[in-house]
Amino acid sequence: MLVLGLDPGLALTGWALVDGGGGGRLRLRGSGCLTTSAQLGEPQRLLALSQQAEELLAMAGAEVVAVEKLFFQRNVSTAMAVSQARGVLLCAVARRGLPVAEYTPGEVKRAVTGSGSADKRQVARMVQLILGAKVPTTPDDVTDACAVGICHQHASGLRVALAASRA
């Protein structure tokens, strides 16, 4: 299964294509960031993000999109911007008719490191070990998108194994 992992943000949205097909080993097929300019007004930034997301979805060929859920932040303006970016991304995914899976930051950390309280450095190291690739460690958004994709691959594998055990 080819999963597009997304780490939403208005300035930077990290993305990663994580391929689960092939002998149980996950592979990174591509990664990067969708960016918007702080020089633009918020509506124009959201439009730019939407257009970039549409282009990415057309190019990626993903079977499912995994997105990090918004968690409560103390900075309300940052939370609002991330929430709006998530909405734009989810609309773009819905337009393509792709299924969406959403995971909290704790679920992602637990799936990748075994601990829901892992720090960014631990997540980055495990992402590199799991994918066996030189995943860029900056910006964090790319590493986080890889982690979201890995989380979905692990969750999907667990669902398949549970279904098989019940048969």
Known catalytic residues are 7, 68, 141
Q: Is 114 left (phi over 0), alpha (psi -120 to 50) or beta?
A: left
Nearest to 7, CA basis, from 52, 54, 70: 70
Nearest to 63, CA basis, from 23, 98, 89: 98
158, with CB counted inside 10 A (0-12, 13-18, 19+), is exposed
Copy the structure tokens of residue 49. 């993000």
